[in-house]
Amino acid sequence: MSFFLADKVAPYAWFPEGASSFAPQVDFLFTVILWICIVFFVPIVIAMGYFMWVYRERPGYRGSPEALHNTAIEITWTVVPTIVVVWVFWEGAMGYLDMARIPKGTVDVNVTAKKWQWAFKYENGGEHEVIPVENSSVTELPLLVLPVDRDIKIIMRSDDVLHSFYIPAFRAKRDVVPGRYNYMWFHTTKEGLYDLFCTEYCGDNHSQMNAKVKVVSQEEYKKALEKAIQEPEDPLERGKLLYKRQGCSTCHNAGAEGASGPGPSYNGSWGKPVQLESGSEVAFDENYIRESILNPQAKARKGYGKASPMNSYAGKLKDDQIDALITFIKSLENANSATKK
Ligand SMILES: [Cu+2]
């Protein structure tokens, strides 16, 4: 679509290169509206400056007292903008309906948003991987893998507050609302790695609530699905993976340099007494970790208050997954070297 240079202007000026079937529509309308603005703004400002100069107040100068009237001009400047505005509305409304009407035969993905992590669950029940990222305040992000050239349906819910699911390259964005499912869809058109952002301010670490979307061939997608249902046999490796997958690492730091988010760092805590907000003390052991995962508010660590942002993982983690997490946290006992996360 090169009308009005839509494909030339939009990617460089405002948007990343489009990778869904919505992109050409959105870029086209955006560019048309932009050009309408330029075409009116520039001559109007030039004329304004010119008239200001030519008709400025000078000694002895008297302006014309008559109000001028020109029916032809007035009808033109009423009818033409009306047509343009109605057309813009029509294009926008049709585009909106297209985005709102979810086609049949989609590839479905469940998305859970919570402070401050995206979690993805595929149709086979498998969960997402994480990938390392550079130039970011976080070292790893959740990865959503999608097949190319398919209609994708995103089924979204939030565990806590309002979030918003936004993939700029797909020109697709929708709020994730607590207490209900929200849906959106798009058709992937191009393989590649794209950004996913939360675009609803959702608290302290909102700016870190990002993810990556990887669009791959059908075969690679099948492989990714198979990998997604597997968790490593080894409890330590499994705990490590769950720790990232479940978003623990967005609030807790397993490394030596203290907590990165609002939660305490576990490094070297194992077996030591923990001071609680209530004034009492408890040993940092299996039971304490288990209770902290299932009922975080029951025994809040001193300094972390009653209003802990940690949600209960009851019903979300199976017992053997909790065991694996305990194994992982226990392994940090002697993690004094500066290994991050
Ligand atoms: Cu958010």
pTM: 0.71
203 alpha carbon – ligand 1 mean position (Å): 7
CA of 163 to the centre of ligand 1 (A): 4
Question: How is domain 3-100 classified at the architecture level of CATH?
Answer: Orthogonal Bundle (1.10)
Beta-carbon contacts of residue 24 (< 8 Å; ≥ 6 apart): 1, 6, 7, 18
Q: What is the mean pLDDT of the chain?
A: 86
pLDDT score recorded for residue 214: 96
The architecture of the domain spanning 107-229 is Sandwich (2.60)
Domain assignments of the chain as residue spans, ordered by start: 3-100, 107-229, 235-334
Predicted confidence at residue 13, as pLDDT, reads 62
The mean pLDDT of 280-304, rounded to a whole number, is 87
C-alpha 116 – ligand 1 centre gap (Å):
6
Indicate the class that CATH gives domain 235-334. Answer: mainly alpha
pLDDT, tens digit, 9 for 90 and up, residues 184-206: 999 999 999 999 999 999 988 89
How far, in Å, from the CA of 197 to the mean position of ligand 1? 8
187 Cα to the center of ligand 1, angstroms: 24
How far is the centre of ligand 1, averaged over its atoms, from the C-alpha of 198 (Å)? 5
Q: What is the CA radius of gyration of the chain?
A: 28
Q: CB of 122 within 8 A of CB of 225?
A: yes
Q: CA distances (Å), 260 to each of 116, 243, 265, 313, 327, in order?
A: 13, 14, 8, 20, 21
Residue found under tokens 């794209």: 194
Q: Is 90 exceeded by the pLDDT of residue 149?
A: yes
pLDDT tens, residue by residue, 38-48: 999 999 999 99
Structure tokens at 322: 């909790």
**Cα of 174 to ligand 1 centre, how many Å?**
12
Give 337's pLDDT tier (boundaries 50, 70, 90).
Answer: very low
Model confidence pLDDT, tens digit, residues 229-264: 888 889 898 998 888 888 888 788 766 555 556 788
CB contact at 8 A, 113 and 218: no
